[in-house]
Each structure stands twice: as structure tokens, then as C-alpha cells.
Structure 1
Amino acid sequence: MQYPADARALQRAQTPHNLFIIGLFAFDLLLTPAVIGMKIGMIGLLIPLVCSGSLLVWIGWRSRTLEDGFVALHWRLAWGRGRLLLLGYAVSATLILLAWLLSQTSNDAHMGHILWIALTRIALLPTLIMVLVTAVLEFSAAAQAAKGEVPDKLAAKYPPSAPL
């Protein structure tokens, strides 16, 4: 759906998408491998998770505080994509828990360590896949915001109270 919006509104509508993309690259694609490379341990993975989660919570809070309008719809769109990323985090956390349980059942300590390393690397894949999917979706949404567009599903869910 095309919204008539001025240049300022177009710029403000791109803000949540740009923040989301910056958060993806900074926290998920740069900080997570850095934490793994520094060999801090699995507890170190909480650092990018907390940073990214804090940004997503802020985007979610901001999406609820804005009144109806073109900019608010783009904040809601970014929050919807943020929930997809949180789903990826939840799946990875569940797989890490399963990896920990499997590594604890091994009789050989070395085999338990090998299981732990291998399975935790595999467990991070759902988050990595969601990071890539949401990055593509957010780049597309930022382009839509620049053109003054809102996805039809979102516009139908939150109809404008008055034309802008």
C-alpha cells in the first residue's frame, strides 16, 4: 500500500530498519564470532544475545508507543521481524541445552567435549539462518520505507485512522 508521506516521514520510517540491520551486523555477525574466537566459553554468547535482545526490546517498545501512521507501521514491521530473530534465538538455545545434556551423558570426558563443541556449533545455525533471513527482509523493508510503501497485510491489520 502506498502512503503519501513527506521526506521527513520517509526518513523516520527507515530508522527502525536501519537500527535492526546495524544490530544484526554488529551483534550477530561480528560480535558472536569474536566471542567464539576469544574462547570465552558458551557464557560469552550471552554478550551478543543481551545486546541484540536489548535492541529488539527497544524496537518492540517503540513500536507500541507511536500513534497510527506510516512511521508507526514501519516500527511494527521491524518488531515483527525482530520476533522472527527471537524465535531463532529460542531454537538455538533449545539445541544448546540438548547439546549440553548429550555431552553430559558421555562416559568419556574427551568424547563429551567433542560432542559439546560439535553440537553447539550446529545449534548456532538456526540463529544464523534467521539473521540472514531477517537481514534480507529488513533491507527490503527499508527500500519500501524509502518509497513510501507499507506491506498490504500490515496496512490491513492497522488501518490508518486518518489520511496522512
Structure 2
Amino acid sequence: MQFEIDPSVIKRAQFPHNLLISALFGFNLLMAPAVIALKFGMVGLLVPFLSTGALIGAIYLRSRKNTLWFVDAHWQLAFKNSRWLMLGYAITALLILAAWLVSLAAANPSMGHIIWTALTRIAILPTLAGVMITAIMEAGAISLASKREVPDSLVASFPPQV
């Protein structure tokens, strides 16, 4: 649904989407490989996870504030889109848990290490898919904000204030 919005408000509505996309690329696509390259191990992968989680938490808290309806709707849309990333992280966590359990069951410790390494590399794929899906959805959301639009489903659940 399209609305008559002041151009200065458009920039404010695009901000949550730009923030989330910047964090996606900074925390997940740059920081995660750096942590692996610096050999911090699997514990080091908590850094991008915690950084992203803190940002999504901040977006959630901001989406609950009441300022301008159009801006608030786009903060809510940014949080809604970030759920794809959270789903990717959840699936990755389950796969890493499964990899850990399988590697513990290996009779030979070196075979357990090989299984752990192989399965954890595969387990990271859902997070990468979540990053890509979220980035694509957020790019579309930036376009919606510039066209002064809010998705109809969001308008239905969060009606404009008159």
C-alpha cells in the first residue's frame, strides 16, 4: 500500500534496512571467515552470532517504539525479515550439535576430528542461506521505502494511525 510521505521520512524508513544489510555483510560475510582464518575455532563463531543477535535485538526493541507510523512500520518489516536469518542460525546450531554428537561417537579420535570438521563446514550453510535471503528481502524493503510503500500484510497487522 502506498502512502503520501515526506522525503525526509523516507530516509528514516530506509535506515533499519540499511543497518541490517550492513550488519549482514559485516558480521556474517566478513567477520565469520576472518574468525575461521584466525583459527579461533568454533567458539570464535559465537562472535558473529552474538553481534548479529544484539543487532536484531536492538531492531526488535526499536520496532516497538511509537514515532512516525511509516518509519515504525519499516522497523517492524526489518525485524520480520531478520527472522529468516534467525531461522538459519537455529538450523546451524542444531546441525552443529548433531555434528558434535556424531564426532563423539567415533571410535578413533582422529576420525572424530575429521567428522567434526566436515559436518561443521556443512552446518554453516543454513546461516549463509539465511544471510542471502535476508539481504534480498531487505533490498526489496529499501525499494518499498523509497516508493513510499508498506506491504499489505504489515498494514493489516499494524494499521496506520489516523
TM-score interval, smaller chain: over 0.9
Give the Cα separation in 2 of the matches to 1:65 and 1:28: 27
SS of 2:39's equivalent in the other structure is: coil
Q: Conserved in 1, the CA contact under 8 Å of 2:85 and 2:127?
A: yes
What amino acid is the match of 2:37? Answer: G
Query: Is structure 2 residue 100 aligned with structure 1 residue 112?
Result: no
* CA pair 53-138 structure 1, distance change in 2 beyond 3 A: same
Give the Cα separation in 2 of the matches to 1:77 and 1:100: 35
Give the Cα separation in 2 of the matches to 1:40 and 1:71: 39
Is the deviation greater in 92-101 or in 62-71?
A: 62-71
Q: Conserved in 2, the CA contact under 8 Å of 1:68 and 1:160?
A: no
Give the Cα separation in 1 of the matches to 2:29 and 2:3: 33
Matched positions, count: 162
Give the Cα separation in 2 of the matches to 1:4 and 1:96: 48
Q: Conserved in 1, the CA contact under 8 Å of 2:84 and 2:133?
A: no
Query: Is structure 2 residue 100 aligned with structure 1 residue 76?
Result: no
Give the Cα separation in 2 of the matches to 1:66 and 1:91: 33
Quote how far apart the aligned CAs of 1:68 are: 5.9
What amino acid is the match of 2:8? Answer: R
Counterpart residue number, 2:100: 100
Counterpart residue number, 1:63: 63
Give the Cα separation in 2 of the matches to 1:34 and 1:23: 15
SS of 1:65's equivalent in the other structure is: coil
Give the Cα separation in 2 of the matches to 1:161 and 1:77: 17
- Which runs of at least 4 in structure 1 moved beyond 4 Å after TM superposition? none
Unmatched segments (≥5 aa) in structure 2:
none
Quote how far apart the aligned CAs of 1:66 are: 2.5
Quote how far apart the aligned CAs of 1:67 are: 4.1
Is the deviation greater in 95-104 or in 78-87?
A: 78-87
Give the Cα separation in 2 of the matches to 1:9 and 1:161: 15
